[in-house]
Each structure stands twice: as C-alpha cells, then as structure tokens.
Amino acid sequence: MSFSVSRRLAAATALAVAGLLSTTAPAALAVPTAAAAPTPPDIPVANVKAHLAQLQTIATNNGGNRAHGRTGYKASIDYVKGKLDAAGFTTTLQTFTSSGATGYNLIADWPGGDPNSVLMTGAHLDSVTAGPGINDNGSGSAGILETALAVSRAGLQPTKHLRFGWWGAEELGMVGSKYYVNNLPAAERAKISGYLNFDMIGSPNPGYFVYDDDPALEKVFKDYFATVSIPTEIETEGDGRSDHAPFKNVGIPVGGLFSGADYTKTAAQAQKWGGTSGQAFDRCYHSSCDTSANINDTALDRNSDAIAYAIWTLGAGTTVPPGPSFENTADVAIPDAGAAVTSPITVSGVTGNAPATLKVDVNIVHTWRGDLVVDLVAPDGTAYRLKNSSSNDSADNVVATYTVNASSEVANGVWKLKVQDVAAQDTGYINSWKLTF
C-alpha cells in the first residue's frame, strides 16, 4: 500500500517536473480511496535461497536426501510448516502410505477470499534418494514458500481464496498430489479455479518454459516475462510429468513454470537465454550433485517473481492498509520467580474479529530472558503463547514482534500481555507492548 502510494506521488512529481501537471492542483495528488489492484512484490531471491540453504542442511543431516519415507522428507515438511504457521496460514498435514512408508502433503490456506473460488499453487517437496534435490524440487518449494510469506507480509486480501500445497512422493509417480485430488470431494474440486505448479525453477543452465495447458494461465506467465523482456517457450519436456497432471485429469485448469531438466539446451536457446548449448539444462538432475550449488540465481529470482505476479494477478486482490494499533507504555515490574503479571490494552472501534496476522510488539527489559514465559491473552481469556522459558536462552531483554492468528477473537475488549518469571535470580519489567490489527 505505502509502496503504491509513494509510487503514485513519485509519478505525480515527475509529471510536475515535466510541466505536465499543475503543482497548484491539490486534487491531482489525492489518493483514490478504492484500492487499485495491488502491485505484485519483487520476491527477495536471498530469502528463497535461505530456504534452499535450510533444505540443503536438512538433507546433509539426514543421510544426504529428502526422499519419501526418509527422515529428511519429514524434516523438510516441518521446516515449511513452521514458516507458514508463524505467518498466519492455516496448515493441514495430510498423510498417505506409499511403498510401505508414510508420506505427507502439506496444505496451507490463507484466511479469507471467496471459498468458492480457490487459486491453488503447488510444488513437490520430496527429492529422489540419490541427492538433496535442491533444484528438483527445493527450488519450486522455496519459491512458493517465499511467495506465500510475501502474501502474509502484504496482508493481501485477494478476491479468490489462496491455497498452497507441498506434495510428497512426486518422485514415486506423483503419489501425494494424486492422493490429494482423489480425496477431494467433487464439490471441493469444483471450487478450484486453477492450479499452478512449480517443479524445477532454478536450473543451472536455465530455460524459461511456460506450461501451455490453459490459455488464460499461460498468458499471465507470458505477460510477466514480457515485462522483463525474457523470451519463453512452451514446456514440452515430458508433458504431464509433474503434480499438475492429477489436477488436469479432473478438469481443473493448470499452469506453471519449468527451467529444464535433462534435455539439452540447443544453440538457439543458448542464443536467447545465455548459458551453454549442447549441455543439459540441469546436469545434476536426479543425482547427488543437485545441491545448493546447482542453482542459477537469476532463473530462481525471475521465476519467483513470476509466481508472485501470477498469484497477485489471478487472485485479483486488494490490500488493506495496516489496521489501527494500540500501545501500553506503562512499566510493570516482573517479580523474580514469582506470580504472573499482566499489562492491559483496551481495544475499541475495531469492527469484527482480530486478523489472522495480529502483530504483537513486545518490549521487556530483563537480565535473563530465558526465565520468562510470555502470553497474549484475548478479551475472552484465551491465551496465545508467544514465548516459552528456556534454560539456555541466556540473552537479556525480549524485544520482538510476534504474529498471532487471532481470527477467532473479537477485536474489541481488554487484551493483556501476561508475563511470568519462572526461575530465580534475574528480574525486569514490561517496558511497553503494542497490538496492531
């Protein structure tokens, strides 16, 4: 919101400088109250790479892979789920059995939007057993994860309901995505207006391939790449070889992006995209060298931005500006190893429920923060744990912003920050805290 406003002002200033706009006409600077379609964000590729680094570490610590039925797969699921839960998504773990082992799909719903019109985005999170699977398919998994986190950061309120999926056992024949689609009641299937798939989007010798299964979805991706002047081709390297196939087979429109696997880049393709002709798009496809070194950052960056562009455009959302905030700056002493103390904030004038992304800024001065248990208490008494005590958290002070899914709480009323010091020797006080709706 503030971005588009400042861009508008910048544009108006440029026009004024160019003599095209009278600087004495204040109406020209008025910002329309009806929010225009929000500008899709530039997804920070560094954040996407940070997720890939985590997936690489998970593989390294779990026998070198993140394959179905192996400990590295479940650890990958836990990592992604933790990020989404903290950002206010409603997550569901779906289990299935394949080859005698438990598999997992992770489904994440962004609260809001039309429940009868769902835009779904997915990626497979499993690797083959041969390696860590960072391009195949850490790349798609991290790209959609960071886009989901950007949805949360923007407070996006799209017209459509947004749902994200991380599939298990794709490498065993799209087992997880087939299981999801097969177990979706017909009425629920009918609500999915489109499914976007991202399987391999950071290939080291990349191509820019767009699925051509549905013309409207294909167009959105082509439009994006046109804005950054990157030529694309239709994806033909094994149509139906990824998780969009089960969706397409039940009549759901599908789209997606792909940067190439074991096919060879032609001279013509190297001419327009750079890279090396006569070499595979991904020489480490399905092998042990598919590590965090097996990523082309530019391809990962462009494709991640394209994902955000597609979701913002197809979700056709509007953002709401950050809601009102309420603060209590009165100090409250926290007795050493004593009873819990509270600091109240009275919220009024906010209609309806609190958001799924209620922000809680906490500032506690303390000589050993590990002693402290901190909760947010809603007006009806429901407590949300912000922080547990920990015997090895030996830093001082708690200066942090927490995001709480408080969508089941009525906003108006007296909220409390509740703090208890559960161990002897160190003391402090609540300095201030703030709620932003």
Residues in contact with ligand TRP by CB under 6 A are: 136-137, 170-171, 199-200, 235, 237-238, 241-242, 258, 261
| Residues of the shown chain interacting with Zn ion in the complex, contacts defined by CB under 5 A | 136
**Residue 237 binds which entry of ligand TRP, Zn ion, Ca ion, none, CB below 5-8 Å type-dependent:** ligand TRP
Closest CB to ligand TRP among 247 and 368? 247
As a whole number of angstroms, the distance between CA 144 and CA 88 comes to 16
E-strand ranges in 205-340 read: 209-210, 233-234, 254-258, 318-319, 325-328, 332-334
| 145's tokens | 């994860």
Residue 422 binding target from ligand TRP, Ca ion, Zn ion, none, CB below 5 to 8 Å by type: none
**Binding partner of residue 371 among Zn ion, ligand TRP, Ca ion, none, CB cut-off 5 to 8 Å per kind:** Ca ion
Nearer to ligand TRP, 211 or 437 (CB): 211
User: Which residue lies nearer to Zn ion by CB, 64 or 379?
Assistant: 64
Residue 258 binds which of Zn ion, Ca ion, ligand TRP, none (CB < 5-8 A, kind-dependent): ligand TRP
| Total number of residues shown for the chain | 437
Contact partners, residue 332, CB within 8 Å, separation at least 6: 341, 342, 343, 419, 429, 430
Nearest-approach distance from CB 144 to Zn ion, in angstroms: 16
Which residues 6+ apart lie within 8 Å of 146 measured at CB?
Answer: 43, 44, 47, 48, 51, 304
**CA-to-CA distance for 105 and 96, rounded, in angstroms?**
8
Distances from the Cα of 386 to the Cα of 93, 178, 182, 186, 360, angstroms: 23, 37, 38, 39, 9
Residue 166 is encoded by which pair of tokens?
């991380």
Which listed residue (146, 170, 171, 409) is catalytic?
170
Q: Provide the minimum distance between the beta carbon of 133 and Zn ion in the complex, in angstroms, as a whole number.
A: 7
Min. distance of Cβ 136 from ligand TRP in angstroms? 5
Report what 290 binds from ligand TRP, Ca ion, Zn ion, none; CB cut-off 5-8 Å by kind.
none
Spatial CB neighbours of 325, under 8 Å, sequence gap ≥ 6 = 359, 434, 435, 436, 437
CB of residue 220 to Ca ion, shortest distance in Å:
55
C-beta of 104: minimal distance to ligand TRP in Å? 17
Q: What is the 3-state secondary structure (H, E, C) of 31-76?
A: CCCCCCCCCCCCCCHHHHHHHHHHHHHHHHHCCCCCECCCHHHHHH
Task: State which residue, 243 or 426, has the beta carbon closest to Ca ion.
Answer: 426
Least distance (Å) between residue 196 CB and ligand TRP: 12
The CA distance from 433 to 36, in Å, is 33
DSSP string of 174-205? Answer: SHHHHHHHHTS-HHHHHHEEEEEEES----SS
Residue 124 and residue 73 in contact, taking contact as beta carbons nearer than 8 Å: no
Nearer to Ca ion, 383 or 423 (CB): 423
Token pair 């408080």 in the structure block, residue: 406
Q: Which does residue 426 bind out of ligand TRP, Ca ion, Zn ion, none, counting CB within 5 to 8 angstroms by kind? A: Ca ion
170 is catalytic: yes
Note the residues at the interface with Ca ion (CB under 5 A).
336, 371, 421, 423, 426
Nearer to ligand TRP, 136 or 426 (CB): 136
Judged by CB, which is closer to Ca ion: 229, or 392? 392
Q: In whole angstroms, how close is the CB of 329 to Ca ion at the nearest point?
A: 23
Q: Which does 421 bind (CB under 5 to 8 A by kind): Ca ion, Zn ion, ligand TRP, none?
A: Ca ion
Which residue bears the tokens 């694309």? 232
Catalytic residues: 170
